[in-house]
């Protein structure tokens, strides 16, 4: 059974940094395409970042230059390093596994999410 | 940037059919996916590659995609189908979610 468990969320002041973790079981992070998605309170889903199995990374314009996706292959953990946090980054952050076939990209396994609140 | 537009809300009576549209430029040339999200829960994949259902998703969920519009159809809607629904596609190396539709079963 695949499980993705996020952690690392919490209350952080504007301008601060936070690192989210996504611990995986039942799948190997380094062999999969993994992504981060967030949802601001009462709002829709927003795709943030993607890491391919070959290590290539991609970002949404809203977080490029501030957020960094990475993974620890030995621990089977996906990370999201978030810097220069703003109030508008307040959201529940989800990790998910992407199924990536020719012209078809979708997310079949999701974590339970971790809440990040950016406030002074 | 690429946008996927959905109606904010759809209302349906129990047992009737609900149709949720997702509009995007030449969306029919891409594969669309759909997710169901109930309050306080993580999204769940209900349709992928336009028309396919993951294991465990009821047959009443179906999808189509042509032209600029993808459609999620819920036939014989049940009270448990009341949720937010999001379409999803891609643009270059980015992934894009639709604006979301709240389905209310009256």
Q: How far apart are CA A7 and CA A19, in angstroms?
A: 9
Average pLDDT over residues A84-111: 95
**A44 close contact with B: CB closer than 8 A:** yes
CB A2 within 8 A of CB A97: yes
Mean pLDDT on B31-44: 98
Contacts of B1 in chain A (CB under 8 A): 61
Question: What is residue A91's three-state secondary structure?
Answer: strand
Chain A closest CA to B48's CA: distance in Å?
A: 7
Please state, in angstroms and rounded to a whole number, the distance separating the CA atoms of residues B80 and B26.
32
Whole-number pLDDT of residue A103? 80
pLDDT in tens, B39-56: 999 999 999 999 999 999
**Residue of A1, A38, A44 to mutate, interface with B, max B Cβ within 10 Å:** A44
pLDDT digits (tens, 9 = 90+) for B69-98: 999 999 999 999 999 999 999 998 899 999
């Amino acid at each position: 059974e695949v499980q993705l468990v996020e952690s690392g969320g919490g209350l952080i002041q504007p301008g601060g940094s936070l690192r989210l973790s996504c611990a995986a079981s039942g799948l190997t992070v380094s062999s999969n395409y993994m992504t981060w998605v967030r949802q601001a309170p009462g709002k829709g889903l927003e795709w943030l970042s993607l890491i391919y199995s070959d290590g290539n990374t991609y970002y949404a314009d809203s977080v490029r230059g501030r957020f960094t996706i990475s993974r620890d292959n030995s621990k089977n953990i996906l990370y999201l390093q978030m810097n220069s946090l703003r109030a508008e980054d307040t959201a529940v952050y989800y990790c998910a596994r992407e199924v990536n076939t020719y012209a078809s990209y979708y997310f079949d396994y999701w974590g339970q999410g971790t809440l990040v609140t950016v406030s002074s | 940037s690429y946008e996927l537009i959905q109606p904010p809300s759809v209302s349906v009576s129990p047992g009737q059919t609900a149709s949720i549209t997702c509009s995007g430029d030449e969306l029919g040339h891409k594969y669309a996916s759909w997710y169901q999200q109930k309050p306080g829960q993580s999204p769940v994949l209900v349709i992928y590659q336009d028309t396919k259902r993951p294991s465990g998703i009821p047959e009443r969920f179906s999808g189509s995609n042509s032209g600029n519009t993808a459609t999620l159809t819920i036939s014989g809607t049940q009270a448990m189908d009341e949720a937010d629904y999001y379409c999803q596609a891609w643009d270059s190396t980015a992934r894009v979610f639709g604006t979301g539709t709240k389905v209310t079963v009256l």
